[in-house]
Structure 1
Amino acid sequence: MQYFIIVILVSICGSALCTEAEWDENKKYCSEKLNVNLDEARDAVRGRTKEADVTKDIKCHFLCMGERQKIIKDGVFQPQVFKQILSAVDDKVLLTKATEECSKKGTDDCDTGFKVATCISRNDLRKYM
C-alpha cells in the first residue's frame, strides 16, 4: 500500500519529494480552478458518462492534472515523461501499448487532457498514478 501511494505521489508531483498534502493540493487546485465535482470527473474518466455529456470544465480538469503531472505540456502528451513516471510498471508490453494509445491529440488541449486520462483509466494504469 505504501508503494502504491509513493507511485501516485511521484506521478502527480514529478518528484519523490511530493507529499500526500501536495497530491491533495494539486487535485483540489484543479477542481477548484475549474469548479469541477471530483465524483463527476471520476465517472467521466471511467466511462460512466457519455463523452458527449462530459463538460469542457471536466475535460480541462484532466488537462490541469496532466500538466501538473508533466505528462502534458503545451497541449501535447509527453510519452517520455509518461514512461519515466510509470517505470515501476512490471508489464513493459502494457506500458508500451498504453504510451502509444495515450499519444492521441484531442480537438483542443482540454480534450487531449481528457483523452490521456481516459486512456490511462482504460489501460488500468490509474493504480500506478
Structure 2
Amino acid sequence: MKFFIVVILVAICGSALCGENDWEDNLKQCADKNKVKLDELKDALNAKIKEADVTNDMKCAFLCTAEKEKIIQNGAFQPQVYAEAVAATADKDQVAKITSECNLKGKDDCETAYKVGVCIAKFHNK
C-alpha cells in the first residue's frame, strides 16, 4: 500500500524534483485551507469514501494540491506534466492510457481535480 501511495504522490506531483514530503506538505496545507481532514482526502483518492460523500471542500483541496503541483492548470488536467513526472517509474503504455482516459472534466475545477485524481489512483491500484 505504501508503494501505491508513493506512486500516486509522484504521479500527481508534476515534477521529478517534488518528493513525497513536498506532496504531503502541499496536501496538508490544502486540507487545512479547505478545512478537511488529511486522512479523509487520502481515503477519497483511494475510493474508500463513496463519491456522494466526498464534499466540495475535499474536491477543492485536491484542486489546491494539483495546482501547486501543476498537474491541473486553468482547470484542466496537464497530461504532459503527469507523463514527465512518472516517466522514470511507470510503464509507458500505462502512462499513455492514463493520460488519455484520465483527461476528465467535472462541473467545476474542484470536481475536475477530484475526478482526475481518482482516475489516476484507479490505474495505479490495479
TM-score, normalisation: structure 2:
0.82
Correspondence 1:12 to 2:45:
no
Shift in Å, 1:45 = 1.6
Q: Where does the alignment leave 5 or more consecutive residues of structure 2 unmatched?
A: none
Tell me the secondary structure at the aligned position of residue 104 of structure 1. Answer: coil
Give the structure 2 partner of residue 86 of structure 1: 86
**Cα distance between partner residues in 2 of 1:65 and 1:75:** 13
User: Residue by residue, what CA displacement relative to the aligned partner does 1:39-92 show, whole Å, maximum 9, x if unpaired?
Assistant: 111121211211111100011111111111101001111111111111113411
- Assess if the C-alpha contact under 8 Å between 1:89 and 1:95 holds in 2: no
- Assess if the C-alpha contact under 8 Å between 1:13 and 1:23 holds in 2: no
- Assess if the C-alpha contact under 8 Å between 1:72 and 1:113 holds in 2: yes
Identity among equivalent pairs (%): 43
Q: Select between 114-123 and 42-51 the one with higher mean Cα deviation.
A: 42-51
- Assess if the C-alpha contact under 8 Å between 2:45 and 2:117 holds in 1: yes
- Evaluate the alpha carbon distance shift between residue 88 and residue 37 of structure 1 in structure 2; reply closer, same or farther with a 3 A threshold: same
- Alignment root-mean-square deviation, CA: 2.7
Correspondence 1:75 to 2:75:
yes
Q: Where does the alignment leave 5 or more consecutive residues of structure 1 unmatched?
A: none
Give the structure 2 partner of residue 109 of structure 1: 109
**Cα distance between partner residues in 2 of 1:10 and 1:104:** 16
TM-score, normalisation: structure 1:
0.80
Give the structure 1 partner of residue 56 of structure 2: 56
Radius of gyration: which is bigger?
Answer: 1
1:101 partner letter: E
Give the structure 1 partner of residue 42 of structure 2: 42
User: Size of the alignment, in residue pairs?
Assistant: 122
Large movers: runs of 4+ above 4 Å: 7-11, 18-21
